[in-house]
Amino acid sequence: MLKKFKQKLFSKNINRSNKNTENIVELLKAFEVFKDIDNNVAFIQNILTDSEDVVYRELMLWDRKAILIYIDGLVDRNIIENHIIRRLQNFNEESENSILTVTDVKEKILAISNPEIVKNYNEIINGLLTGESLLLIDNEQEALTLNSQGLEKRGVEEPFAEQGLRGPRDGFIEDIDDNVAAIRKRIKDTRLKVQYHTLGQRTQTKVALVYLNDKAPEHVVKEIEKRIQEINVDSIVGSASVEQLIENHKWTVFPQVLASERPDRIATSILDGRVAIMVDGTPYNLIAPGTFAMFFNSSDDYYERSIVTSIIRIIRYMSFLIASTLPGLYVALTAYHPGMLPTTLVLFITGSRVGLPLPSVVEMLLMLFTLEILLEAAIRLPKPISQTVGIVGGLVIGQSAVQAGLVSPLVVIIIGFTAITSFVFPYYTFALTNRALRIFFLIGGAFWGLFGIVIFWILLIIHLASIESFGVRYLEDFFSFKKEKLKDTFLKDGYPSLLGNAEAIKGDKKE
């Protein structure tokens, strides 16, 4: 049986013949370190064929052959040279003792923080691929994996998309260990739990669940854990794929998980009893369950005075209304119910539209379209050019379209205003949501006037109410008339009463 496997394995075609990565894992799990070191090397070489960045460094340990294997580029050469190779060579000079086990090497010789004794090939290969180096010694049926990761990391910088005025300036980086540490640094509590999972057969991405044991509701944590364990995909690239894999509702424009690149934001959410899902390789880490109100709170809110913040919060909610409904409302009011506008305003609008060739719906759609194009162009381009795009697009096109008598100036004003209001939200994801809603309400307003808009709003509210994210309702903060819940939604209460308030996501009593 074993031989058969061996033959198969040594047939050199394993990587090509077995497209299913699952099989390789199963195969690897079946093997343990061989006694003969050459066998081991051959085995590894067969697994990692055509990989010229794998380094096999041969050493003599007293009189025994040893071999250090690592992938160049993933490891810190300094560690390899000074803490592994030099120590081993020095040992040769110093010691006379020839009876040497892997444990001895681990305990007495290496100056590495946490070397691990491994047997299984699955672990070995995984270790190699994540930047650990592997020490094999002849005649030993165990191997050592050594922590030698030395990936180049970006330094801690100010968050790029999520800026604050008074908050801390550090943002997450791409390395999960550093990111978890950033949370640990803020919450020095024994009850802070960090659970690691590895996702993606190919990418082997490290994902951490971070939460406060006593605050996060058990059913929420369990639900998230279950979802993460159920993930069975080839690859995880960044947190967005995790987000999409664990969220409850696929077909909605509303994000059910909040992605933030600010450690302080994640830390406060954890303190509120939410669960952070940190994914290796991205500065955007996730908070679940995400509720509607969360997307209106910026981390700055917690650093400013509560009355001022409350006013700003209310402005944000109003902006949500305006940014989603205003274009539709304009069409509904002018085309269906001009009677509702004050007479002078109606005459003003009429005056601005006299002689325009396009119906106002088409005009509005065209301008919205233009706006989206401008936004896309401005985001993708490097900064200096994007500013030019902004000026050319916004000013020149807008201005000249009005002057040429193609669009009404009022439409330009409204589009500009909605564009600005949609950037009030602290999270870009939610601004995108708003853009989608805008078109939805424009259709409602264009076909059925105010009636359509109200009906669509009711539909939207029902939809929002029906969204459930990890056992917590999306609108959890708004119903049941609970005073505690409102403390951090429309209004922001002062700190003493906010602290220790996990009411917000307690959710349904499922116990």
Partner 1 sequence: MKKRSLCKVMLKIVILLFSVLLFGCWDYAEVEDRGYVLGIAIDMAEPLPRGQDDLEEYLSEREIEKMIPQYGEPKFAYTIQVPIVPQARMGPEGGGGDVEEDRTWDLTMTGNNFFEAQRQFATRLEYLPFYEHLQVVVINEEVARQGILPVLDLLLADHEMRRRTRVFITPGDAKSILDVVPRIDDYSSRYLERLPLGASRNSRILHETDLGQVAMSIHTGVDFGLPRVVATEDEIKNAGLALFREDKMIGWLGEVDTIWAKWVRDAVLGGTIVVDSPNEEAEIVVLEVVKANTKVRPRVADHQIIMDIEVDATFNLVEEVRYGKANIFNEDYLEEVEKLAKKRIEEEIKDTVSYVQEEYGADIFHFNVQMRRYEPDVWAKIENEWHDIFPQVMVNVNAETEIRLTGLMK
Partner 2 sequence: MMEKELNGVDMLAFVVHGTVGIRLLTIPRDIVEIGSNNGWMSVALSAVIAFYLGFSFYWLYTKHPNLNISQIIEANLGKKIGKIIMVAIAIYIISTIGLSLRAFTDSVKMFLLDTTPRSVLVILGALPIVYGVSKGIKTLSIVLDLLLPLVILSTILLVVLASTSVDLENYRPVLHEGLMPVLKGSLQMVHPLLGIGIIGYIMPQFNEPKRVKKWIGIGVLISIGSYLAIVTLSILVFGSEETKMLIWPTISLSKAIQLETELFERAESLFMTMWIPIAFTTMVTFYYSSTLNLKVLFDSNRDHLITYGQIPLFILIAVLPNSVVDNYKYLGWVNLLAMFFAFIIIPLVIVITLFKNRRVSNEKT
The residue whose two tokens read 């990418």 is 203
Binding string to partner 1 for residues 386 to 425, with x set by CB under 8 A, is what? -----------------------x----------------
Q: How far apart are CA 18 and CA 15, in angstroms?
A: 6
Residues in contact with 463: Cβ distance below 8 Å, sequence separation at least 6, in sequence order:
252
**Min. distance of Cβ 1 from partner 2 in angstroms?**
51
Contact 55, 71 (CB under 8 A): yes
Q: Which of partner 2, partner 1, none is residue 165 near (CB under 5 to 8 Å by kind)?
A: none
Binding string to partner 2 for residues 313 to 342, with x set by CB under 8 A, is what? -----------------------xx-xxxx
Contact positions with partner 1 (CB under 8 A) in 425-454: 446-447, 449
Q: Choose between 360 and 421: whose C-beta lies nearer to partner 1.
A: 360
**Min. distance of Cβ 358 from partner 2 in angstroms?**
23
**Min. distance of Cβ 446 from partner 1 in angstroms?**
7
Q: Choose between 43 and 330: whose C-beta lies nearer to partner 2.
A: 330
Q: Choose between 194 and 475: whose C-beta lies nearer to partner 2.
A: 475
Q: Given the DSSP bridges, would you call strands 64-71 and 116-118 parallel, antiparallel or unpaired?
A: unpaired
Q: Choose between 250 and 509: whose C-beta lies nearer to partner 2.
A: 509
Binding string to partner 2 for residues 466 to 485, with x set by CB under 8 A, is what? x------x-x--xxxxx---
Express the helix, strand and coil content of the chain in percent, nearest 5 each: 55, 15, 35
Q: Choose between 318 and 459: whose C-beta lies nearer to partner 1.
A: 459
Burial of 153-175, coded b for 16+ CB within 10 Å and e otherwise, reads: eeeeeebeebbbeebbebbbbbb
Among 77, 97, 74, CA closest to 85: 77
Please work out the total of residues on this chain that contact partner 2, with binding judged by CB under 8 A: 33
Contact positions with partner 1 (CB under 8 A) in 448-487: 449
Contact positions with partner 2 (CB under 8 A) in 185-244: none
Q: Which of partner 2, partner 1, none is residue 458 near (CB under 5 to 8 Å by kind)?
A: partner 2
**Min. distance of Cβ 510 from partner 2 in angstroms?**
8
Q: Quick one: which of 1, 99, 354, 462 contacts partner 2 (CB under 8 A)? A: 462
Residue span binding partner 2 (CB under 8 A) among the ranges 8-16, 141-149, 226-234, 448-456: 448-456
Contact 418, 411 (CB under 8 A): no
Specify the 3-state DSSP secondary structure of 251. coil
Q: Choose between 1 and 462: whose C-beta lies nearer to partner 2.
A: 462
Contact positions with partner 1 (CB under 8 A) in 316-375: 334-336, 338-339, 343, 346-354, 356, 359-360
Contact 192, 222 (CB under 8 A): no
Contacts of 18-27 spanning 24+ positions with Cβ under 8 A: 21/201, 21/202, 21/234, 22/201, 25/122, 25/201
Q: Choose between 409 and 416: whose C-beta lies nearer to partner 1.
A: 409
Contact 274, 289 (CB under 8 A): yes
**Site membership for partner 1, residue 496 (CB under 8 A):** no
**Min. distance of Cβ 448 from partner 1 in angstroms?**
8
Q: Which of partner 2, partner 1, none is residue 86 near (CB under 5 to 8 Å by kind)?
A: none
Q: Choose between 341 and 406: whose C-beta lies nearer to partner 2.
A: 341
Q: Choose between 186 and 463: whose C-beta lies nearer to partner 2.
A: 463
User: Alpha carbon of 366 to those of 362, 401, 406: distances in Å?
Assistant: 6, 11, 11
**Min. distance of Cβ 459 from partner 1 in angstroms?**
13
Q: Quick one: which of 155, 343, 404, 496 contacts partner 2 (CB under 8 A)? A: 343
Q: How far apart are CA 232 and CA 42, in angstroms?
A: 31
Among 49, 66, 50, CA closest to 58: 66
Residues in contact with 241: Cβ distance below 8 Å, sequence separation at least 6, in sequence order:
233, 235
Q: By CB neighbour count within 10 A (0-12 exposed, 13-18 middle, 19+ buried), where does 491 fall?
A: middle
DSSP run (H or E) holding 267: helix 263-271
**Site membership for partner 2, residue 455 (CB under 8 A):** yes
**Min. distance of Cβ 290 from partner 2 in angstroms?**
16
Half-sphere exposure of 179 (CA within 13 A, CB side): 32
- Conformation bin of residue 12: beta by default, left when phi > 0, alpha when psi is -120 to 50: left
Which chain residues interact with partner 2 by CB under 8 A?
336-337, 339-345, 448-455, 457-459, 461-462, 465-466, 473, 475, 478-482, 508-509
Which chain residues interact with partner 1 by CB under 8 A?
334-336, 338-339, 343, 346-354, 356, 359-360, 409, 446-447, 449
